[in-house]
């Protein structure tokens, strides 16, 4: 479950300090995935992220926290998008330290990985610089 994201280049944020260090880098774009053991994470969220990253522009930095396991890190992460209800799985895209796109669980459940990927890829196209 964790490896599905770390093999794509995601950094695991295991502690609140890890989260703060990751978020302290304000420049560029960053995607944080709140991972989960649920079926929609396995069937739609993680595969959707993988597919989206294989397309055009992608975030400069990638990180993940694991809901239900890295409890303190997840709580700190959610503090960076406190205006959104807690949701796992979910995906948060930041540009220059500001939340610009959020995909909560209810937009993952009942959709295909390809649909989730399309949503993310559209956000990447809009907010991320093309690869050099």
36-40 long-range contacts (CB < 8 A, ≥24 apart) are: 36/66, 36/67, 36/68, 36/88, 36/89, 37/1, 37/68, 38/88, 38/89, 40/89, 40/105, 40/108, 40/109
- Does the annotation count 38 as an active-site position? yes
The dihedral built from the CA positions of residue 83, 76, 6 and 60, taken in this order, carries a sign that is: positive
Q: Which run of H or E residues covers position 4? A: helix 3-6
Selected catalytic residue, list 11, 14, 20, 38: 38
- Does the annotation count 128 as an active-site position? no
Selected catalytic residue, list 13, 19, 30, 40: 40
Q: Which residues are marked as active site?
A: 38, 40
């Amino acid at each position: 479950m964790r490896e599905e994201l770390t093999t794509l280049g995601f950094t695991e944020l295991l502690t609140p300090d890890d989260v703060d260090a990751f978020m302290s880098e304000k420049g560029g774009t960053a995607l944080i995935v709140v991972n989960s053991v649920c079926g929609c994470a396995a069937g739609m969220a993680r595969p959707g992220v993988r597919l989206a990253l294989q397309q055009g522009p992608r975030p400069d930095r990638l990180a993940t926290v694991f809901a239900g396991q890295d409890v303190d890190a997840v709580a700190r992460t959610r503090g960076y998008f406190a205006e959104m209800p807690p949701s796992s799985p979910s995906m948060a895209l930041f540009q220059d330290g500001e939340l610009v796109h959020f995909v909560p669980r209810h937009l993952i459940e009942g959709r295909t990985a390809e649909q989730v990927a399309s949503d993310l890829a559209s956000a990447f196209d809009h907010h991320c610089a093309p690869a050099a």
